[in-house]
Amino acid sequence: MNQPQLLDGRYRIVKKLNEGGFGVTYLACDTRRPGEPLCVAKELRHEHQSNPKVIQLFHQEAEILERLGRHNQIPQLLAAFHQSNRLYLVQEYIDGATVYDELTSPLGKLKKTEKEVVALMRDVLTALKFVHQNQVVHRDIKPANLMRRRRDCKIMLIDFGAVKALAKSQIDTHGQMTTVSIGSPGYSPFEQLSQANPCPASDIYALGITAIEALTGLHPTELGTDPETLEIVWQDRTQVTPGLAALLTQMV
């Protein structure tokens, strides 16, 4: 099905950025603002996206994103609407590169220094504190969802897992919405992936794993575990000060 010429009568699609199980993300421009600045339009896919319960939950999640977007390290929500039986979110465009991009090169994985990792963690924790104070769990902290804004090098939190959870939610035979587990293998803790029960500590775990990946240059699935404690074994793959090692061990 072809896209309408304008979304919500104002957002013109420039190109597709990516596509996944929860929907499609487009680069778009706002034709009603001077200079037609860029923005990001996300089309959510749900098999029951015309169901009133789905639409209600969509707008509830949009209200949360609107509130979170007041923080300088979270993209602002510009619009949320239902058009042609599709659900759309429009957010501020962030000019920058993800931490995943920083860790990946044609030559292979790159490692970050301890100083760089500590700075990264401080940035992310500043934003996470605000998120958790608003009783929200990001649910999908990983290098690909941490964007370094080019103009000031600040880390932005993008792609909150609640949006993916909405897209993947189910409607049972009684018409009730059921929750599903959301997260990324290797980055999300047990209680989140197996029990669909994330908590603020789940984000802390994911950030700790992300920091370990940045230090070792290894994807979490490439790291082993202690057969007795089931703790992740990583300190033999890099050199860090005892203080940071203890902190990361506690986080994961």
> CB of 92 within 8 A of CB of 142?
no
Taking residue 125's Cβ as centre, other Cβ atoms within 10 Å add up to 15
Q: Which tokens go with 146?
A: 């941490």
Which of the residues are catalytic? 140
Grouping H, G, I as helix, E, B as strand and the rest as coil, residue 61 is helix
> What is residue 104's DSSP assignment?
E
Ordered alpha helix ranges (H), 74-152: 99-103, 114-133
CA-CA distances (angstroms) from residue 241 to 15, 114, 208, 235, 244?
45, 8, 15, 10, 6
